[in-house]
Structures are given as structure tokens and as C-alpha cells.
Amino acid sequence: MIAITVYQNSKGHKIGFKSKGHAGFADSGYDIICAGVSALVINFINSVEELCHAEYSLDTDEETGMIDYRLDKPATGDVALLMDSMILGLKGIQRDYGNEYIILDFKEV
């Protein structure tokens, strides 16, 4: 299962996320849930870097499927829109395939 926690500050502004795990929907290379989540998450990271030039920190572990992404400043403007778009896509995958494969949670930090 892929567990994704979206981090928010006390004002509800998103400041990052952590994604960890593998869906286990199908064999490696054929897992459409892992592929969908990866596409959304990696596209978000690349878009923020290339289009918004926002400062962030990133920690990854390919073996566990962990991506820990933290913005230096709370998401606003285009960065907030991109993050909301990523979350919308993740919610769609969760809705379509269920909590057996993906869990999306929000946490105040």
C-alpha cells in the first residue's frame, strides 16, 4: 500500500508531503497504481522546480518507495495550484482503486 501524508501548517497552507510504499496492485513494471502515483508526484516536483522555482528539500528511498518533500515556504499561488492538482489526482486514484492500495492523509505540522 502507498501511504501519502500531506503536511499543512496551522493556517491550512500545504507545506509538503511524504509518500511511502508500493501499491502491490500488480507486479513491478505493471502496477498502474504505482505508475499513476509516481507520475503525479514526480510531475509535481518537476513542475515546481522548473516553472515556479520554489525552494524545497527532498529525501528519497527507491527501495521503500519513499519521497519526502518539504517546501521552504508554505504553498501559495502557482505552487498551491500544482499541489492541489496533484492531490486531486491522488484522490481520484484512491476513489477508483480503494484504500487497499493507497491511503491519503492530511497532517498539521
The pLDDT tens digits of the residues spanning 18-69 come to 999 999 999 988 999 999 999 999 999 999 999 999 999 999 998 888 999 9
CA distance 52 to 30: 32
Task: Supply the residues annotated as catalytic.
Answer: 22, 34
* pLDDT (average), residues 65-86: 96
Crossing angle of helices 32-47 and 77-97, in 10° steps, is: 180
Stated length of the chain: 109
Residue 71: per-residue pLDDT: 97
Q: What is the pTM of this model?
A: 0.93
